[in-house]
Structure 1
Amino acid sequence: MASFVTEVLASSGKLEKDDLSCKISKLSQKVEETKDEVCDMINKRYSEFLPSLQRAEELMAQVAEVSKDIEMLKSCIANEVSQDLQVAVTEYTELKQQLEKNSIVITVLRSLQEYDLAMEEYHRALQEKKYTVAAEQLEKVRAGLYLCVDSLKAWKGCELQLLRALSSEHTVQRENLIYHLGDEWKKLVVWKLPTSKELSAAESFLKTELRLCSGMQAGDGSDPPSLLASVLQALAIQGQLNHKIKLFGQVLLKYMLKPLISYSSLHVEVGEQPGQGAVLTLQLEETSAEHTSPSQVYTRLLAVLRVLHAHMFGTLNLLFTLKKVSIVLGDMIWEEMSDCIIRECLLYSIPSNSSQLSKYSMVIKETEEFEKTLKELKYLTMDSTDLLQYARNVNSHFASKKCQDVIVAARNLMTSEIHNTVKISPESKLSLPRLPSLDSKDNAKQEADRKRPPSADTPALENEKQLGQRTLCLPVCRISESVQQLMELTLATLSETVGSSSQCAIQLFYTVRNIFQLFYDVVPTYHKENLLKFPHLAAIHHNNCMFIAHHLLTLGHQFRPHLPQPLSDGAATFVDLVPSFRRLGTECFLAQMNAQKAEMLERLSTARNFANLDDDENYSAASKAVRQVIHQLKRLGKVWQDVLPVNIYCKAMGSLLNTAISEIITKILMLEDISTEDGDHLHTLCQTIIDEGPLVFLPLPDENKNRKYQEEVPIYVKKWMSFKELAIVLQANLQEIVDRWADGKGPLALEFTSNEVKNLIRALFQNTERRAVALTKIK
């Protein structure tokens, strides 16, 4: 209720006025109270301020007097004490610089003394051919010179002319030492090499000879040091060893190690003389092997490397190198040498048959021993090398090599001549390799079920007829011998997949697929001209494609249970290639058929449309054209005889003969006027084809067996009956023609239309009432 009253008052404006007046009165009261407090505060502060101000002024005077005394003292210190201190610091700095200078001079003098002693020792050692001592002394000289130069650079960059002269002298002596070392190297490591033009056979490397002279010199001990070892030690100290060993390794590889790997008839002969060195020469040995076996290669290489280790690297103690010389040489030649071993030796040692894979473990063991020996001789430091990995990965390399060999062999068969043929029959079978049994129990059960006679409970089949033994068999025909060999090659390759590793089996399987893809691409291209030019080859190629397609239907199914996954799950199939091969063979043969038809039509085009045959020239041209067509058909019949299957042969010859008689029928029907003499000539030509046409059907060499197919000419030649009717009409009178028409039910009506028959009547007979009556009967 109160809130409601308040709202009502507020809405009327009365409540707002009462609140303003109340607030104003309260504010006025607070202002008065604040004014009183301010006045009281001001009175208190300023009444007590004056005594405090006077005391502060007295203190300020005292502070000013003390400050004046401090300034006077400071001025005294600045003018007297500071001046003496600066003089002392300057004297100290000069003394310090003089001490440093004296220290540097002493260091340089000591270095110069050591330089002189080292140079004297160097010259003495060089004369005595103690090259290791000489190299060490030069190294000591170099270190001393660097110390002097560093000391002088620290002292304000000062440099003495004497040091430049000494450094130049050191450079000269270092080059002199390197020259002497190189000269000694040429005397101690002597190569005799053939010229580059001669490097074409194993015999040219017989001139290669490496002579290692130890150059033993007398010493204090019982075992005199080797001059060769001293030279190598000095080269290492002077930083020239890697370059020298690199050049040596290149020559060693080119003229000794690689020939020993590449040529099976070469072997190394080592001649050693105690205290003098060794001689390595290459010799020939009689061998029938085309490539060297891995064990022989390893033996030859180790013979060379052991001699080098014994006479060059074995006794060295290089204090100034991080690695031994043998390791340096090994690092430089290992990659190229192992690559050559793989390419020229291990590649050819990979077995070509899966049955030989078990024997390859010996090669792996020999490779492991070879690398172990190299590690002992300090030529090799790696734990895993490409050489050993290649040897151990034999399954992959076997598959790759097998696939490569198979592809090469297949391509050679595809590019060989295809006219060398073999005859196949329904009884012909490819020799399928014996495959291991998957489950003898299941096989025995299936065999027992097959042999068990049907019981009364067994439901009878709706059709009890069995398929013939020759169902799905190829008909008798001829195929290329190379294609038969190609299929045998694919079967042998697929047999390699049985028992092989999964990777190997898959790789071999798809190689076989690649063979068929290669055949599809290569053969039509490589033999293109011959397939178009020679009907015999076109027929053989047709049979080849059908032969391959026939075997592709079951090729995958035969091996699928013995293949790894996913091939065993259904991927091992060649059925998808069947339509392509059938189409390839069909297209090639159809192209040949079209070429023959075109040639036949071209010959018939010289018959002058079979018109005006009462002219001797026209009749001669028409007769010649017909004879040429029959001759062409007979030639094709002989060419395709015993090559094409009988049904394909008959269809092909029937199609060609049908093309010829169709063209003749068309030409005759187009004639508008046929005289009696023309009709006789046309009938003679048609009768010639009727008599000799069936004789072109010669699918078999046996003449008696061909009669059956010659009697079935109407089956293969669609226009044969039409052609025979036309021949009859050409010699018939009007009544005979009407009788053969028989109100559209006779044999003539079955082959020709009414218009065609009327046109023939008009061309053969003059316009008479009898012709008009006859035309009215042709309906």
Structure 2
Amino acid sequence: MADYNVDDVIKNIFDSNDSNNWKPTDKIPLVIKEIEHLKNDMRSFLSSSDYDIASILDEGKELCAESKTLVDEMELCRQEIEQETMAEILQSIENHDQLAKELQSVNFAIDIIYDVVQCGKYVKEFDDGREAQSFTRAVEAVYDLVQYVEMPAEGFKHLDLYANTKHTAQLILDSLLHDLYGEWDRLVSYIVKPGIKKTVVIITLNLDDSMIVIDVLNALDRSKKLKEKVSEFSQFLLKDVLIPIIHNDCTVFAETEELMTVTINYKQDFKPEYDAVIANLRLLFHYLSNKLNVKFNRECSIMRMLGKEICQPFSDVIVKDCLIDTIPNNINELQSYGKITVEIEDFQRFLTVVKFFPDDKFSILHYVNNIDVLFASKSCQYFLETARTIMFKDLSVTMSIGVESIPESDEGPSDTFDDNVEGALKILDETIPVSLFYFPRCMISKTAQELLDLVYMMMEQAVQCSDVVCKKLYNTTRLVFELYDAVVPYHHENYLQTIPQYVALFHNNCMYLAHNLQTFGDKWLILMEGRELDYPISFVDLVHKLRDLGYKHLTMHMQQQRKQILDNIRSSDLNCIVVKDVLSENAEAAIRQCLRQLHLLKNVWIGVFPNNVFTRLMATLVNMFVDELIHRVCTVEDISMEMATQLTEIYTLVVQKAPQLFQNPSDVEKYVKSWIKLQELIFVLGGSLKDIENHWKDGTGPLAIHFRTEELRNLIKALFQNTQFRANLLIKIK
């Protein structure tokens, strides 16, 4: 049976070769035959089997009969349970619900009674604490009572007793806190007496390690009010005592063991030295330590609480407003700064010992970690303030500077140089004038030299410092000259607008500073040799800016002088020659006033400006003056003989006086472009047509050189009547 294969049997019956030709009637006998064969095999298998199949079947029939009997019995049991037992169970449930309700009522009553008993217990504990004069016990009892009535048992809130108890507990707590606050005020009190010149602060501390004091502190701590009171006292100390001691002149004096007086004196522009501040703080903290280091529990004291509250803001203030000021502004003092840090470290240890600082790790010396940056900022601030102070000084305090003449160097290139170097030096010598390295003799303000000495000091200090400080000082040095541009013209504005000497000195100052800035960067780089820099060092860009600053104000003043000269001329009869036959006295007065003005400028400027600059400036003003005089005459259509005579006399006065305005009288011909033209004009005004013809000399004479044809023709028409000789001369002048 185990080897019987159904698939093979089906293949044999339904042969695939004739699958399209067979009919069901043909295959049924084959299938029936196979079934019969299988039945015979099954009989043979059962007859040869080791099991008694018949017995097994009989046993199964018996089990079926017994199962049916059990089912019938279970059905009888179910019916009996439904009819009798369920009735008893329902009755039991009703009894249980009734008992549960009764138990709930009993528990409800018990809870209310328990709350009443507990409230009474806390009230009794409070009474016992007050009788024993123990604030701690009383506070604990009241706080327990208050907390207990906040979470009462169900139903307790509906009793009149609950409302009365809660109200009473709050009244007792308020009264107790009032008494505790009174005790605290007795232990810790302070008075501030403000005034205009000084403020007096009186601190009285009556704390000690007695049981009464400990009891008060514990009671305040238990009521969570101690931190509030200590915080209040801490803020008072910080704002009214510690910070004023850091900022003002103070006297700290312990009158008694319990009483200390701090007198704060208000002085204008006063800042106490760091050692005086530390000395006063030591006295104060010594007094506070003796009184506030009272341990009201194993882990804490008032002094520690106070320190925890204000040590950080106190540290920030003393570092920012006191200790940082101890950082010097020069490299020599910085090298000896260790002495000051030792004193500050000792003060820090003192604050740790008196328990104001929480531990040894808390430091007020953290700013020393950035000493280079702070030193750089302090130095730069000092130098900028010093520079500003110098710039505010009077410009009229002068000194002589520069060389009278530029020395000539006969030294040739060194023999040690090769041909390329010699060639380069020769080209450099031919390209750059020697005068570039020399400043001409003139007068400058002493403030300009002071400012230059200051920036040289900055440079010398910078090269001795770290790269951070050096870079900061370099930028500050540049800023000094930027500041000069902004401060000096603004601060001395009135003088620069009205006093010629100030303008001259300011111009020279700008030129002198610009001259030194040309090589200042090279000097810096020479001192910095061997150091790697990540920034360029140069001041050449400031040279043009400073020169323009000097030019600007000198130009403005020259325009002002020019305006005064023109106003003098135009306010006289010289401005209305065309409508007058004779000039009044104001014409000559105006000329003399202009000459006096120029002579005053000569007295002020000579020796102040370099000689060549003075000559050029005076030549510019004189040339403008002469041009205006020439223009007054050359634009007139008719000039009478009397007026021509007057003009000749007045203009001759100019020719006589103007050369005296220069150091060398011959300079007037060299530098005043219109000088010969003025002389020729005077010649024309006093000459005849024949003289004019001779000076014209067929277009080659001095009149032809200095006058335009149209100008000369107009002048002849204005001076001479219309004659044939004049007409012939005008024909020649073309």
TM-score band, normalised by shorter chain: 0.7 to 0.9
2:385 aligned with 1:408, yes or no? yes
Report the alpha carbon displacement of residue 584 of structure 1 after superposing the two structures with TM: 1.1
Counterpart pick for 1:593 among 534, 554, 558? 558
Counterpart pick for 1:348 among 297, 320, 325? 325
Q: Decide which moves more: 364-373 or 632-641.
A: 364-373
| Distance change (3 Å), C-alpha of 1:711 and 1:569 | farther
Report the alpha carbon displacement of residue 713 of structure 1 after superposing the two structures with TM: 0.8
Counterpart pick for 1:281 among 246, 261, 276? 261
Give the match for residue 211 of structure 1.
Answer: 204
2:324 aligned with 1:329, yes or no? no
Secondary structure (helix, strand or coil) at the match of 2:558 reads helix
Distance in 2, matches of 1:609 and 1:39, equals 159
2:294 aligned with 1:314, yes or no? yes
- Superposition pairs for residues 507-586 of structure 1, below 5 Å? 507-563=472-528, 568=533, 571-586=536-551
Ranges in structure 1 where 5+ consecutive residues have no aligned partner: 1-25, 42-61, 217-224, 273-277, 429-449, 698-705
Q: Are the aligned partners of 2:348 and 2:363 in contact in 1 as well (CA < 8 Å)?
A: no
| Distance change (3 Å), C-alpha of 1:107 and 1:330 | farther
- Superposition pairs for residues 112-191 of structure 1, below 5 Å? 112-113=116-117, 115-142=119-146, 144-145=148-149, 149=152, 152-153=153-154, 160-191=159-190
The amino acid across from 2:384 in the alignment is I
The amino acid across from 2:228 in the alignment is H
Q: Are the aligned partners of 2:251 and 2:280 in contact in 1 as well (CA < 8 Å)?
A: no
Give the match for residue 638 of structure 2.
Answer: 673
- Superposition pairs for residues 57-72 of structure 1, below 5 Å? none
Give the match for residue 305 of structure 1.
Answer: 285
Write the deviation string for residues 437-496 of structure 1: whole angstroms up to 9, x where unpaired: xxxxxxxxxxxxx99974899879869999998753222222223333222222222322
TM-score (norm 2): 0.81
Distance in 2, matches of 1:38 and 1:533, equals 145
Q: Are the aligned partners of 1:543 and 1:644 in contact in 2 as well (CA < 8 Å)?
A: yes
| Distance change (3 Å), C-alpha of 1:304 and 1:689 | closer
2:491 aligned with 1:487, yes or no? no
Q: Are the aligned partners of 1:613 and 1:681 in contact in 2 as well (CA < 8 Å)?
A: no
2:337 aligned with 1:360, yes or no? yes
Counterpart pick for 1:607 among 568, 573, 581? 573
- Superposition pairs for residues 260-275 of structure 1, below 5 Å? 260-269=245-254, 271-272=256-257
| Distance change (3 Å), C-alpha of 1:144 and 1:681 | closer
Give the match for residue 3 of structure 1.
Answer: none
Report the alpha carbon displacement of residue 502 of structure 1 after superposing the two structures with TM: 2.1
The amino acid across from 2:670 in the alignment is I
Write the deviation string for residues 315-363 of structure 1: whole angstroms up to 9, x where unpaired: 32168xxx65333212322233223323442143222322111332233
Distance in 2, matches of 1:255 and 1:755, equals 90
- Superposition pairs for residues 750-765 of structure 1, below 5 Å? 750-765=705-720
Report the alpha carbon displacement of residue 549 of structure 1 after superposing the two structures with TM: 0.9
The amino acid across from 1:228 in the alignment is V
| Distance change (3 Å), C-alpha of 1:676 and 1:398 | same
Distance in 2, matches of 1:235 and 1:750, equals 111
| Distance change (3 Å), C-alpha of 1:483 and 1:168 | same
Q: Are the aligned partners of 1:122 and 1:134 in contact in 2 as well (CA < 8 Å)?
A: yes
Counterpart pick for 2:227 among 231, 242, 267? 242
Distance in 2, matches of 1:73 and 1:292, equals 108
Distance in 1, matches of 2:259 and 2:699, equals 111
| Distance change (3 Å), C-alpha of 1:226 and 1:756 | same
Report the alpha carbon displacement of residue 303 of structure 1 after superposing the two structures with TM: 3.8
- Identity, in percent, stands at 27
Q: Are the aligned partners of 1:506 and 1:567 in contact in 2 as well (CA < 8 Å)?
A: no
Write the deviation string for residues 576-614 of structure 1: whole angstroms up to 9, x where unpaired: 111111111111111111122122222222234463698
Report the alpha carbon displacement of residue 215 of structure 1 after superposing the two structures with TM: 7.2
Counterpart pick for 2:237 among 252, 266, 271? 252
Secondary structure (helix, strand or coil) at the match of 2:690 reads helix
Write the deviation string for residues 536-572 of structure 1: whole angstroms up to 9, x where unpaired: 3222221121122112112222222445999846622
User: How well do the aligned residues superpose, as a CA RMSD in angstroms?
Assistant: 4.3
Q: Decide which moves more: 528-537 or 292-301.
A: 292-301
Report the alpha carbon displacement of residue 691 of structure 1 after superposing the two structures with TM: 0.6
Give the match for residue 643 of structure 1.
Answer: 608
Write the deviation string for residues 212-246 of structure 1: whole angstroms up to 9, x where unpaired: 22477xxxxxxxx3422221111000111111112
Report the alpha carbon displacement of residue 636 of structure 1 after superposing the two structures with TM: 1.8
The amino acid across from 2:719 in the alignment is L
2:731 aligned with 1:766, yes or no? no
Report the alpha carbon displacement of residue 298 of structure 1 after superposing the two structures with TM: 3.7
TM-score (norm 1): 0.76
Distance in 2, matches of 1:376 and 1:179, equals 35
Report the alpha carbon displacement of residue 266 of structure 1 after superposing the two structures with TM: 1.4
2:364 aligned with 1:379, yes or no? no
Distance in 1, matches of 2:26 and 2:161, equals 101
| Distance change (3 Å), C-alpha of 1:31 and 1:65 | farther
| Distance change (3 Å), C-alpha of 1:621 and 1:40 | farther
Q: Are the aligned partners of 1:714 and 1:720 in contact in 2 as well (CA < 8 Å)?
A: yes
Secondary structure (helix, strand or coil) at the match of 1:193 reads strand
Secondary structure (helix, strand or coil) at the match of 2:199 reads helix
The amino acid across from 2:247 in the alignment is S
| Distance change (3 Å), C-alpha of 1:167 and 1:365 | farther
Distance in 1, matches of 2:21 and 2:68, equals 48
The amino acid across from 1:762 in the alignment is K
Q: What is the aligned residue count? A: 681
Report the alpha carbon displacement of residue 518 of structure 1 after superposing the two structures with TM: 1.6
| Distance change (3 Å), C-alpha of 1:143 and 1:738 | closer
The amino acid across from 2:332 in the alignment is S
The amino acid across from 1:741 in the alignment is W
| Distance change (3 Å), C-alpha of 1:561 and 1:71 | farther
Distance in 1, matches of 2:289 and 2:575, equals 98
Give the match for residue 371 of structure 2.
Answer: 394
The amino acid across from 2:126 in the alignment is Y
Secondary structure (helix, strand or coil) at the match of 1:647 reads helix
Q: Are the aligned partners of 2:574 and 2:632 in contact in 1 as well (CA < 8 Å)?
A: no
| Distance change (3 Å), C-alpha of 1:318 and 1:113 | farther
| Distance change (3 Å), C-alpha of 1:326 and 1:112 | farther
Secondary structure (helix, strand or coil) at the match of 1:204 reads strand
Report the alpha carbon displacement of residue 102 of structure 1 after superposing the two structures with TM: 5.2
Write the deviation string for residues 8-32 of structure 1: whole angstroms up to 9, x where unpaired: xxxxxxxxxxxxxxxxxx9x98698
The amino acid across from 1:312 in the alignment is L
Distance in 1, matches of 2:543 and 2:525, equals 18
- Superposition pairs for residues 368-517 of structure 1, below 5 Å? 368-381=345-358, 387-426=364-403, 454=415, 472-517=437-482
Distance in 2, matches of 1:636 and 1:452, equals 46
| Distance change (3 Å), C-alpha of 1:82 and 1:407 | farther
Distance in 1, matches of 2:489 and 2:591, equals 34
Secondary structure (helix, strand or coil) at the match of 1:80 reads helix
Write the deviation string for residues 71-92 of structure 1: whole angstroms up to 9, x where unpaired: 7765653443233324434544
Distance in 1, matches of 2:567 and 2:404, equals 43
The amino acid across from 1:418 in the alignment is L
The amino acid across from 2:599 in the alignment is K
Q: Are the aligned partners of 1:229 and 1:313 in contact in 2 as well (CA < 8 Å)?
A: no
Q: Are the aligned partners of 1:266 and 1:283 in contact in 2 as well (CA < 8 Å)?
A: yes
Secondary structure (helix, strand or coil) at the match of 2:337 reads helix
Give the match for residue 689 of structure 2.
Answer: 734
Distance in 1, matches of 2:530 and 2:377, equals 20
